């Protein structure tokens, strides 16, 4: 798929503008360290989907309160796979990579959550122009501090065991990366946060992925206090959608 296809995109509410996905100006604002705090990383790279600069985002503190909605389950000869288990395993990946810095707290309802993970059944396997998942982020424009996030994970009838156990695991982990720290992508296909992925293969968090999230937080994941919405500080909402690699 060529960049002209704009398979990844950002929808910025407020300005009601459809733009190619990327960071935009001001990446890293509001942080005490620079994008090159730990290297190699991709925070200062341009998104390979559209050429725009990556934008660094961050939560003001942890744990992130989350809820999982409409999680399906799949029955294979080797056993049952639960959507909730894939999600928590993906969360644990980021927690382990950051030595416990990223932390999560399950809550009972969407009204209590800062992050919502939704499973969405589509009619068939996504083809060209389709999406495996998407992440919507609301953040303060001046600092990049995240206010809330939602992740949508697409699944379809007839998924193979590899597509469920490996492909969905990779998709969920990738979308959580967006929800944690970045609007944009890596330029290296080896990285979990590369801009597109196969439907039946899992990907691990690489050194570049780990250095990127640690640099986004200056390797300090402690709760530093949450800013309240303020009409003098505009909030932007963007949606990043993930295409399959065919």
Q: CB–CB of 210/177 below 8 Å?
A: no
pLDDT at 20: 29
Closest CA to 171 of 241, 107, 101: 241
Helices of type H across 98-191: 161-162, 169-181
Tell me how far CA of residue 48 lies from CA of 139, 163, 186, 230, in angstroms. 23, 25, 7, 34
pLDDT at residue number 223: 79
User: Who's near 79: CB < 8 A, 6+ residues apart?
Assistant: none
The answer to whether the pTM exceeds 0.85 is yes
Give me the average pLDDT of each 10-residue run along the chain (246 residues): 27 28 37 90 92 93 96 97 98 98 97 97 91 96 94 98 98 98 96 94 97 96 74 88 82
The predicted structure's pLDDT at residue 229: 61
Phi, psi of 116 (to 5 degrees): -115, 130
pLDDT at 227: 67
CA dihedral sign, ordered 86, 91, 95, 98: positive
pLDDT attached to residue 243: 86
Predicted pLDDT at 18: 25
Which superfamily is assigned to 28-242 in CATH?
Answer: Collagenase (Catalytic Domain) (3.40.390.10)
């Amino acid at each position: 798929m060529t960049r002209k296809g704009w398979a990844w995109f950002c929808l910025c509410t407020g300005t009601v503008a459809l733009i190619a996905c990327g960071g935009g100006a001001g990446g890293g604002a509001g942080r005490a360290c620079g994008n090159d705090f730990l290297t190699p990383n991709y925070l200062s790279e341009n998104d390979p989907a559209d050429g725009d600069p990556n934008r660094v985002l961050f939560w003001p503190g942890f744990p992130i309160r989350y809820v999982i909605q409409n999680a399906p389950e799949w029955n294979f000869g080797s056993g049952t796979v639960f959507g909730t288990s894939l999600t928590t395993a993906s969360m644990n990946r980021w927690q382990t990579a950051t030595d416990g810095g990223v932390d999560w707290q399950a809550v009972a309802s969407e009204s209590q959550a800062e992050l919502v993970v939704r499973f969405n059944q589509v009619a068939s396997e996504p083809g060209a122009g389709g999406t495996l998942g998407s992440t919507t982020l609301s953040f303060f424009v001046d600092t990049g501090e995240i206010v809330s996030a939602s992740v949508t994970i697409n699944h379809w009838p007839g998924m193979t065991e590899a597509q469920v156990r490996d492909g969905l695991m990779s998709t969920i982990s990738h979308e959580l990366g967006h929800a944690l720290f970045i609007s944009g992508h890596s330029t290296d296909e080896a990285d979990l946060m590369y801009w597109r992925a196969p439907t039946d293969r899992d990907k691990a968090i690489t050194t570049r992925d780990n250095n990127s999230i640690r640099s986004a937080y200056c390797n300090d994941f402690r709760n530093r206090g949450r800013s309240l919405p303020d009409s003098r500080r505009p909030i932007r909402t963007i949606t990043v959608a993930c295409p399959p690699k065919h």
